[in-house]
């Protein structure tokens, strides 16, 4: 298995106490080229890993416990009630699928990011060792991000002004996304940098993204939008063709399968982009 990612050597130490280390330039085109090259070079093993840990469990969930679709004329309260009933009845399989997909993303991270080119078994062992630390850091980072974004919204909402609350909600959403991006290097810090302390892993990610947070956020959003558009176009075209040949049931089945593949491809692309970005800003020593 080939791996085009190679660790970036750390910058030279300062020559004087007052001299600061120069940060590498955040080049999104170079990051995209490296991420694409890594995905193509490892496409066979990634297809197997993502098929087992993402596509199959997600497809099984959609077939056995599909999310209820909003009905015509349904109020938001009725839809929320229907979704609440669905989650109450299916929380266990939902949690199992999320856990399997979470572990699969860690295996993908180890495969794409480790310069030693591990086998799938070695990547799974590395992911298993890093899971407790990364899970703790993930929960802590998400809690901190949501608190940072929601507390101002709640405080402004107490004023009773609907317009101010709506503006605060938009700003709070942007703040949450920005904070989540600032913690995006937590996984590489744990699995590739060997940092097992969740607090230190979050801290390393936060400071590593200090000067590139907004750039990385915009880059990830562009990738997400592009995947959604392309995935929707492919799904519509294939589903229409399948429906003409095999009927509505066949079209729905193929559409669900394509959606699972698109979701897995998007997740793998995000991992590859995060790994390439992490390497560019200094790697494990950054």
Q: 204, 137 in Cβ contact below 8 A?
A: no
Within 10 A of 285 (CB to CB), how many other CB atoms are there? 11
Residue-level pLDDT at 250: 84
- Mean pLDDT confidence for 31-55: 92
Q: 35, 272 in Cβ contact below 8 A?
A: yes
Q: 28, 62 in Cβ contact below 8 A?
A: no
Q: 31, 276 in Cβ contact below 8 A?
A: yes
195: burial class by Cβ within 10 Å (0-12, 13-18, 19+)? Answer: buried
d(CA 129, CA 156) in angstroms, rounded, equals 43
Round the average pLDDT of the chain to a whole number and report it: 85
Structure tokens, 85: 């009933």
Residue-level pLDDT at 68: 78
**Considering the domain boundaries, does residue 9 fall inside one?**
no
pLDDT beyond 80 at 283: no
Instruction: Give the model confidence (pLDDT) of 175-212 as tens digits.
Output: 999 999 999 999 999 999 889 999 999 999 999 998 89
Give the pTM: 0.83
Model confidence band, residue 139 (pLDDT cutoffs 50, 70, 90):
very high
**Considering the domain boundaries, does residue 59 fall inside one?**
yes
Instruction: Give the model confidence (pLDDT) of 212-263 as tens digits.
Output: 999 999 999 999 999 989 989 988 888 898 888 888 888 888 888 998 999 9
Residue-level pLDDT at 130: 93
Domain that holds residue 180: 28-65+77-285
**Considering the domain boundaries, does residue 17 fall inside one?**
no
Model confidence band, residue 76 (pLDDT cutoffs 50, 70, 90):
confident
Q: How far is CA 111 from CA 19, 249, 272, in A?
A: 36, 37, 10
Model confidence band, residue 17 (pLDDT cutoffs 50, 70, 90):
very low
Tell me which of 247 and 40 has the higher pLDDT.
40
**Considering the domain boundaries, does residue 127 fall inside one?**
yes
pLDDT beyond 50 at 12: no
Q: 188, 274 in Cβ contact below 8 A?
A: yes
Residue-level pLDDT at 137: 94
**Considering the domain boundaries, does residue 126 fall inside one?**
yes
Q: Tokens 């799938």 sit at which residue?
A: 120
**Considering the domain boundaries, does residue 273 fall inside one?**
yes
Structural domain total, the chain: 1
**Considering the domain boundaries, does residue 12 fall inside one?**
no
| For the ranges 70-74, 82-86, 117-121, the one whose mean pLDDT is highest | 117-121
d(CA 255, CA 63) in angstroms, rounded, equals 11
**Considering the domain boundaries, does residue 167 fall inside one?**
yes
């Amino acid at each position: 298995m080939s791996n085009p990612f190679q660790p970036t050597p750390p910058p030279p130490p300062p020559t004087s106490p007052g001299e600061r280390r120069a940060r590498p330039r955040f080049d999104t085109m170079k990051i995209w080229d490296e991420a694409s090259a890594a995905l193509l070079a490892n496409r066979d093993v990634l297809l197997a890993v993502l098929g087992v840990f993402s596509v199959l469990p997600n497809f099984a969930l959609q077939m056995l416990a599909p999310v209820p679709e909003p009905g015509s004329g349904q109020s938001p309260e009725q839809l929320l009630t229907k979704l609440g009933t669905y989650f109450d009845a299916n929380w266990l399989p939902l949690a199992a699928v999320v856990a399997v997909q979470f572990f699969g993303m860690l295996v993908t991270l180890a495969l794409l990011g480790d310069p030693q080119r591990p086998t799938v078994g070695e990547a799974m062992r590395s992911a298993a060792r890093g899971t407790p630390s990364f899970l703790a850091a993930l929960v802590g980072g998400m809690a901190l991000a949501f608190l940072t974004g929601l507390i101002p919204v709640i405080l402004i909402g107490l004023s009773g002004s609907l317009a101010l609350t709506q503006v605060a909600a938009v700003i709070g959403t942007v703040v949450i996304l920005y904070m989540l991006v600032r913690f995006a290097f937590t996984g590489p810090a744990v699995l590739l940098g060997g940092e097992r302390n969740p607090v230190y892993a979050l801290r390393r990610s936060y400071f590593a993204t200090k000067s590139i947070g907004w750039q990385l956020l915009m880059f990830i959003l562009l990738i997400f939008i592009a995947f959604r558009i392309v995935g929707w176009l492919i799904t519509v075209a294939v589903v229409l063709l399948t429906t003409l040949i095999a009927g509505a049931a066949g079209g729905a089945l193929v559409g669900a399968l394509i959606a699972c593949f698109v979701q897995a491809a998007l997740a793998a692309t995000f991992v590859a982009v995060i790994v390439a970005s992490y390497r560019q800003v200094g790697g494990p020593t950054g």
